[in-house]
Structure 1
C-alpha cells in the first residue's frame, strides 16, 4: 500500500490531485492531527467519491480521534499509526529528496555540485543504503569540494528500513464512543487590545451630543402681565393719488386689472312638446233656489274643468251659457237645460286620454253638472331638453366668483409691497351674456363674463405710523404703545371717484405700558429658576403676574442659557 504524506495546509483539491497522479490502487494518506481535510465532513466525502471514481482503495492514518471518527462516517478506514497497516515508510525517502531539492542554493552561488548519472532503485520491501560517487576535486577548490561532497552525500543517502510485515488492524473504539465534534476550525488565542481611538471618539461624540442637547433642546415660554392704560380713538385718513398729501392723508397709487372668461352651460330644463288630449262634455243646469226658480249658468272660454276620477284639468274651448230650469205646463215636471262643449287638456301627454267621467267646473252653481259620454284622445308625450334660467344663473355666478378672485390676485401682484382694502375694489362689468335664450331647445349654451376692477393701494407701514401717532398723544417718556392686533382688521373704505381717492376709517386701540425690550428682558432671565424669573420681572418691569413654562418638562428647572431660546408673551391689563 503506497503511503502519501500530507502537510497540515494541504487542501482537499491538492490531495485529490496526488491520489490521481499515482498509479497505485492502494493508498494510505498519512495526515497530521491538524490537517485541513478534517475541517469539514464534505472534504472526506469528496475524497471518498474521487477514490471510488478512480477505483482506488484508500485509508487514512492519523492520530486525530476526530479525524478518525469523520473518516469512519464516510466509509474510509482509519488507523492511528502506519505500522497498523503493515507498510514501510518508503515515501519518507521521497519527501527527503524533495526537501533537499527545495533547499538548493539560488543561481549565482559559486559551488560545484555533483549530479549522479545513476538512479537509486527503490524496493517496496527492503531499501539498501547506497553511497553516491564523489565529484572529482580541483586543487584550487579543495575546501569547497569537501563541503560539496558532504552535501551531496547527505542528499543521496537513502536510509534503509527493515521490512515490515502486514499486521492485523488493531481494535479501535467505536465511533459512537468518540468525543463529539464541537466545530470546524481551530481556535487561536488572541491578545486583547483596548481600542483607545474608538473609545476616545465615542466619548467625544457623546460630549458633543450632550452640548448640542444642552444648547438647542431647552426652551422657556414666559407669560407676564404688565399694568397698562388702554387707549382708543377713531382714525380717518384719505388715500390720495394726486394732489398735496396732508397730515391726515396717505399717498396712494391706482391699480387696475381686467379679466374675461367663458364657460359652457349644460342645459337641464325639460319641456313637453307633445299634443294635448281633446274631448267634449255635456253641462246640465239643475240649479234651483229655495222657491224652485232656476238661473242661467254662463262659462267663459278656458274655464277649468277637473276630472273627478284622475284630477286631470282641462279647459273649455269656447264660452257657453246653459239656460235655467223650466217646468212642463201639463204636469209641472222640471225641464233642465244642457249644452255640449269641447274641452282641451292643459298639458300634452297620454295621461290625459281619459275614459268617460264626470267633471267639476270652476265657478259653477250648485246643481250644475258636467259629464263626458266618450273617451278623450289625442294626448301624446314628447319631452325635450331646454335651457332654464337656473342653468344660466348658476354658471354666471361661478364665472363671476372665479373672475373676481383672479382679478384680486393680479391686483395684489401689481401692488407689490403695498396693500389695499378688498371692499374698496371697484368692479365694472363689461360683458355678461349667454348665446341662447331661456326655453330654447338645446343641450348646451355658452356664457361670457368680462369685468374690469380698480383700486387705490397704499403703504401699510405709513398707515400704522399715522395710527400710532393718533394714539400716542398722551404717552410718557418711559412708556410705549402696544397696538391691538385687531386694529387693522375692520377698516371701512369709501371711494371718491371725483377726487380719485379713498377714505379709510378705523377704530384704533392699544395699551400704554412701561417700555418693554424683549431681548434685554430675555437676557436678564437666562439660566434662572422660575422664582428668580418672576422676581426679576416684578422688580424691574412691574409685572403683576408671571407664568413660566420650561420645556421639556424633565429638563433642569432653569431657563435656557441663551436668550434666543426664551419667548416672552406680554399681557396687558
Structure 2
C-alpha cells in the first residue's frame, strides 16, 4: 500500500503538522520526528494529530526508535515502526524513562476543560458522522508491502530489567550512504569505460608476398633531401677530435758517456800549405776515429821533399784539437799515428794520448720503435673511437660502420728518436680527427620504398609490404673530399594491394570468426588474426578509429 512520508522539523508546531497531514494524498501517513522530538513529546499533541488524521480517514504511523515517543504513541494507540521498511505495530505500554528530563503529560489523564474545546476548534471535521473507530484498522496497515501484526494494548507483565533499544547512529548511516553512492558512480563509470572507451581491436593480416632484392649505390647527401631517382639519401655525420697516445718500449741502445779528446800534430812534406776544416776525421792505427773540433792551418814545405821525409827538415807544420767519434773508454788510447781523411801525399799526422772517454749505455728511441707504436696506435684508436662515435647516434639512425674515417696528424714520440728513454719506456701521441656517418631510418625507408615501387610492374594492384630497412647492409664506402657514397643491400617484400579503410569498414561490430571468414576470401590474404584490447572484448568496435590494421609478410605464399 502506498504511503506519504512527513518529516517533522524541530521548529514545526502542531498546526504546521496538521496542515501537512491534510495535504497528504495517501491514506497512510508515515510521521518521521526529528532527533529531538519537540512538539511530539506531548501525548496531547499526539492524540490531536491522530484524531485529525482519523477525521480525514487517514492512518498515522510514527517512525521512531525513541522509547519515550514509543510509549506516548502506545498510549494514543498510534502504530509505530522503527524505520520506513519495518512493520508498524501498536507498542505495549511500559514504564517510561525520559532521557532529557522533560515532563511528559498524558492527555488521557487531563480533564477536558478548555483544552478539549481548543482541540475541537483546532481540528476541522468534514463529516461529523465519522467516528474514531471508522478509520483504518491498524491490522490492515502496510507501509512496506508486508502484513502488519498489531499487538494488543494491555497491562505489562511483570518482567525483569528491560534493556533500552539501540538508537540508530545516523552518522554511520550517512557514511554508508556516501560509500554506496560513490561506489555506484564508480561502478557505472567503470562499466562505461569497459564497454564504450576500452574496446579496441588489431586485425593482423598475413599477405602472400614475393621477395624483391635491393642493391643500390647511393650518395650520402647530408642535409640534402632523399631522392631515389637521383640516388641521394639524407645522412648524418658525427665528428670527434682528440689526442690518442700509446706507450711503447724503446729498444735502441746508446753510449752517452764522455768522449775522449786530445791533440794531433800535422807535418807537411808535400808542398804548399793548406787549411783543415772543423770535423776533419783522423783515423788512428787501431781504427778509432777522431774529429777535429776547429779549423787548422798547416804551413807549406820550405825545403826539399826528400830531406823532409828523411829528417823532417823544412817541413810545414800545424796542430789541431780532436774528439772521439763516440763516447766510451775504448777511445782512451796512447800516442799513435793518424791518417787524415781527404788528404793524400807526404802529409803526416801524429797524436799524443787520448783521454777522458767514459762509458754509459742507455735505452733510446729508434725509428723502428716509432713505426711499431704507430701500428698499435691505429688499432687502439679505431676500436675506441668507433664505439664513442656510434653512441652519439640516436636509435632512429642506421649507423654505417664502414664509414669510419680517421684523419691522423703527425705522430710525436716522447722522448724523441735517439734520445734516452727513462726506464726504457716511451709514448707516441697523435692528434686525429674521427668521423662516422649514419642514415635516419625514416629516410632509409623512404628511399627503399621508392626504389622498390620503381621495380614493381603492376603498381595499381601491388604494394610494398616490407622495405627491408631492418636487414640492410652497407659496403663499398668511398669518400673523396666532402663527397661520400656507399652500396645499400637488402631485400624487400611486394604483394597484393589491400584497402585498409575498406577492411576496417567491413570488420565493424563483427566477431573474430566473421572477420576471418570475410577477409580470407580476398585474393592475396593468407591468414587473419584479431587481437582484442581486453579479455572481455569479443567484438570489433564500431568506431573505426579504434581499429588498427597490421600486415605480416609471408614470402612466396609459404
TM above 0.5, yes or no, is no
For normalisation by structure 1, the TM-score amounts to 0.36
